[in-house]
């Protein structure tokens, strides 16, 4: 572990006579159990949203606002705002309960300014991520770490689980020239790491030099998905509403740039996709022929009330993961891209899907008609290198 990073662990004795598995304690729970020792005497800025709650359901905002010896002075919100309800840019505001200013990091700027961090001794990050490279909470954390390093402000990550589990790695590595707000760091689409682990990797590999401290969880194993933690489900963003959708999301969201509705404006975003020019029966037949493991598909029709093809009738496909162990969202995504390109080359813009896939060679191969399974196999060498890098920063087993 680098000297610039401190990982705080809390390992009390097990409850006497208890043979049951304990629920996961997130970073905020551990911080509370430590009586906020790491933040004593500090003026604190908190980067958070609606997912930042403790095991009792109290907002991290309120917990820190009333923590003895801690002075909470400013709040910072990511995409979708502090309440997680916005699907547009977000303005600065104030928190009704505490009166604290809320600086938006998805408004006039997506990078915090020096003025925003003025007079702070510490920044605390407590947001639930989705475990996907293009989910922007990851980038917001990276940008805040960079500014904190410039201003020599300590940076604390209150860790939370990867809701998809911490073992499976999927997708091509990001091309070096494609870093952006939806692609902060060269890594696969699904990386199998917590935000605390990511922060350690970003800090070292990007040479950020932040005074980084991770408040590690207790009772989380890498194999555990969100529904195995005992934690309440809180939708990370307005359209990512269920864990079912979260497992489909990495391979479905990549389709939208090509001109497909991914269910925004329906009751089940990311659990279906389609377009006015799709013929559902033909597309379902093509996808069934491809035998995507762990996935059930069926024809559907829908009229989205938002997003691509708002108020237009679409035909498409509904998706259900039947076996998480064999299902791989990125294989599904590649097979769907290939099928849409084959059946609807004049309507589906395959070239634009590189925006979130992040690998030009992957899109080029699909455009040529290469088998998606061969394309996926071609990622193996790069993913092995990523695993070796990733291993240095893992906190949990």
Mark residue 53 as left, alpha or beta (left: phi above 0; alpha: psi -120 to 50; beta: remaining).
Answer: beta
> Residue 17 has what pLDDT?
32
- CB-based contacts of 196, cutoff 8 Å, min separation 6: 7, 27, 157, 159, 214, 215, 216, 217, 395
> How high is the pLDDT of residue 22?
76
pTM of the complete model beyond 0.85: yes
Long-range contacts of 134-137 (CB under 8 A, 24+ apart): 134/182, 134/183, 134/189, 134/253, 134/356, 134/358, 135/236, 135/237, 136/78, 136/79, 136/106, 136/181, 136/182, 137/78, 137/79, 137/195, 137/236
146 is written with which tokens?
Answer: 């960079």
From the options 3.40.50.970, 3.30.460.80, 3.40.640.10, 3.90.1150.140, give the CATH code of 243-358: 3.90.1150.140
- Quick one: pLDDT at residue 7? 62
How would DSSP label each residue in 312-380?
Answer: S-EEEEEEEES-TTT--HHHHHHHHHHHHHHH-TTT--GGGGHHHH--HHHHHHHHHT--HHHHHHTTH
Q: Is 5-237+386-391 in CATH node 3.40.50.12170?
A: yes
Cα atoms in the 13 Å half-sphere on the side-chain side of 359: 25
pLDDT per residue of the chain (397 residues) written in tens, 0 to 9? 333 466 655 433 233 233 345 799 999 999 999 999 999 999 999 999 999 999 999 999 999 999 999 999 999 999 999 999 999 999 999 999 999 999 999 999 999 999 999 999 999 999 999 999 999 999 999 999 999 999 999 999 999 999 999 999 999 999 999 999 999 999 999 999 999 999 999 999 999 999 999 999 999 999 999 999 999 999 999 999 999 999 999 999 999 999 999 999 999 999 999 999 999 999 999 999 999 999 999 999 999 999 999 999 999 999 999 999 999 999 999 999 999 999 999 999 999 999 999 999 999 999 999 999 999 999 999 999 999 999 999 999 9
Tell me the sheet residues that pair with 6. 213
Take residue 383 and report the two structure tokens written for it.
């993913």
Domain with CATH 3.90.1150.140 in the chain: 243-358
User: Three-state DSSP class for 134?
Assistant: coil
252 vs 245: CA distance, rounded Å: 9
Q: Which of 157, 150, 174, 183 is nearest to 27 (CA)?
A: 157
Per-residue model confidence (pLDDT) at position 128: 98
Q: Give span(s): CATH 3.40.50.12170, the chain.
A: 5-237+386-391
How high is the pLDDT of residue 1?
35
Q: How far apart are CA 74 and CA 114, in angstroms?
A: 13
Q: Could you give the C-alpha distances from 203 to 28, 147, 206, in angstroms and in order?
A: 21, 12, 6
Q: Which two tokens stand for residue 307?
A: 């997003």
Instruction: For residues 262 and 252, give the distance between their C-alpha atoms in angstroms, rounded to a whole number.
Output: 7
pLDDT of residue 366: 98
| 212-215 vs 314-321, strand pairing mode | unpaired
The closest of 304, 298, 335 to 317, measured between CA atoms, is 298
Residue in 307, 207, 204, 324 with CA at minimum distance from that of residue 264: 307
Question: Phi and psi at residue 11, in whole multiples of 5°?
Answer: -130, 75
Q: What is the pLDDT of residue 149?
A: 98
Predicted pLDDT of residue 59: 98
């Amino acid at each position: 572990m680098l000297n610039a990073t401190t990982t705080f662990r809390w390992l009390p004795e097990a409850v006497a006579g208890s043979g049951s598995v304990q629920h996961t304690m997130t970073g905020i729970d551990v911080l509370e159990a430590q009586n906020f020792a790491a933040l004593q005497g500090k003026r604190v800025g908190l980067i958070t949203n609606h997912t930042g709650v403790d095991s009792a359901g109290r907002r991290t905002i309120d917990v820190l606002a009333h923590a003895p010896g801690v002075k909470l002075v400013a709040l910072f919100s990511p995409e979708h705002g502090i309440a997680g309800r916005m699907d547009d840019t977000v303005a600065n505001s104030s928190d009704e309960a505490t009166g604290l200013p809320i600086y938006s990091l998805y408004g006039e700027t997506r990078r915090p300014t020096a003025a925003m961090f003025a007079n702070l001794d510490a920044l605390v990050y407590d947001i639930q991520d989705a475990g996907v490279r293009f989910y922007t909470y990851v980038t917001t954390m990276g940008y805040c770490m960079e500014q904190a390093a410039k201003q020599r402000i300590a940076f604390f990550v209150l860790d939370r689980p990867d809701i998809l589990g911490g073992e499976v790695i999927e997708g091509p590595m990001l091309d070096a020239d494609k870093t952006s707000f939806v692609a902060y760091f060269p890594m696969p689409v699904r990386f199998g790491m917590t935000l605390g682990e990511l922060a350690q990797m970003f800090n070292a590999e990007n040479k950020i030099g932040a005074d980084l401290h991770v408040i590690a969880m207790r009772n989380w194993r890498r194999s555990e998905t969100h529904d195995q933690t005992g934690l309440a489900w809180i939708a990370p963003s307005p359209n990512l509403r269920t864990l079912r959708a979260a497992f489909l999301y990495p391979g479905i969201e990549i389709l939208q740039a090509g001109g497909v509705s991914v269910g925004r404006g329906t009751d089940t975003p990311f659990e279906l996709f389609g377009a006015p020019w799709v013929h559902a029966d033909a597309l379902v037949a093509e996808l069934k022929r491809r035998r995507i493991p762990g996935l059930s598909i069926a024809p559907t029709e829908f009229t989205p009330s938002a997003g691509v093809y708002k108020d237009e009738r679409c035909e498409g496909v509904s998706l259900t993961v039947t076996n998480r162990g064999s299902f791989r969202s990125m294989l599904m995504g590649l097979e769907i891209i290939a099928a849409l390109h084959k059946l609807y080359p004049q309507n589906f813009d395959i070239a634009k899907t590189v925006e979130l896939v992040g690998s030009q060679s992957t899109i080029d191969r699909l455009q040529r008609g290469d088998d998606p399974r061969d394309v996926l196999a071609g990622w193996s060498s790069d993913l092995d290198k990523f695993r070796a890098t990733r291993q240095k920063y893992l906190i949990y087993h």
